[in-house]
Structure 1
């Protein structure tokens, strides 16, 4: 597995939830001019899709994922060369009593992580989703 760079670095592909849609995701799509979207269920499936080179990013800006949704997928994505943080670029912490990822999750290929974080900062994304 290898989370690979897009052939055209300006053309990012997004993998998104089929059933939960954040208004901020539309803002990110517009800011980054994302035209390609792959809807699917399960955080694990989405991260696996990125790890296999099927998309460049997945974002859940709110506290809707839990530590058990993120832990194994993070290991897989990092093993494939990708990045997995909260939406502020900070590591996800698993050794706490809080099971919700309060500051959301951002999973990307390595080459686009900073660009996506900058877009999120420009949109004033908070942990509210």
Structure 2
């Protein structure tokens, strides 16, 4: 397999950031809350600095979670989208389920993505037209593909851990999904769908942002899956509003349209019963 220079740069950035995150993870560090009460740690900031310094070689602008967004990126066709530490709450709670997310966007769509879980030394990467891969402990990369599960009763759903919402479990039950797993990091959840470990991941909150979905979006697509919002619309990137106002839905793609219809029907009934 051939890795482009741009993807190689992103992989190097993710690995270097992950190494620093692990050092901080296993030491004493400071943590605080930013606007919106979201947690931030020394690891978020250190990781972001390493990534920004590394990606500077590409000359593309960067949209990153911990850096103020001046919107200058909107005039550019190609940008990086970065979450330096996806799953900060899991970092704080020592679950090991956090990751570094780096994606490249061209003309509002992701073209490559990297997801790195430092605690497992597990690297997911993919590039448009070239497939998605996983590499564990520095071994040989292995190509990954989504599952071929068609029946909802057989679906394995992965849902948020510390950002869990009673609606999510109720929705899974309403869809007829009996098997659910909780996991940290939006990127890792998307990656497990991409490698066929799970069949569906969804989130109804509008707090999910471009940096949470970018890397996972292209990885899932190259593995044969689909990621949209809950209305079934493709996710666009490098937008003025970076929030996912209509949630996200990641699946193996086999019955994605059916999932959208069933989810919308369920949410409509829920809304009607609460008004």
TM-score, normalised via structure 1 length? 0.88
C-alpha distance in 2, partners of 1:26/1:45? Answer: 19
Equivalent of 2:229 in 69, 86, 95: 86
Q: Is contact 1:12-1:55 (8 Å) kept? A: yes
Equivalent of 1:104 in 247, 250, 253: 247
Point out which structure has higher relative CO (alpha carbons under 8 A, 6+ apart).
1
Which runs of 5 or more residues in structure 1 are unaligned?
A: none
Corresponding position of 1:114: 257
Q: Give a deviation string over 1:77-110, Cα, whole Å, max 9, x none.
A: 0000000000000011112111111111100011
Which secondary structure does the structure 2 equivalent of 1:110 belong to?
coil
Which runs of 5 or more residues in structure 2 are unaligned?
A: 1-143, 269-275
Q: Give a deviation string over 1:28-67, Cα, whole Å, max 9, x none.
A: 2122221111211001100110011011110011112110
Corresponding position of 1:26: 169
Which entry has the higher C-alpha Rg, 1 or 2? 2
Q: CA RMSD in A?
A: 1.6
C-alpha distance in 2, partners of 1:12/1:103? Answer: 23
Change over 3 Å in CA distance of 1:63–1:92 after alignment to 2: same
C-alpha distance in 1, partners of 2:198/2:206? Answer: 23
C-alpha distance in 1, partners of 2:225/2:211? Answer: 19
TM-score, normalised via structure 2 length? 0.43
Runs (4+) off by over 4 Å: none
Richer in strand (by share): 2
Equivalent of 1:4 in 147, 157, 164: 147
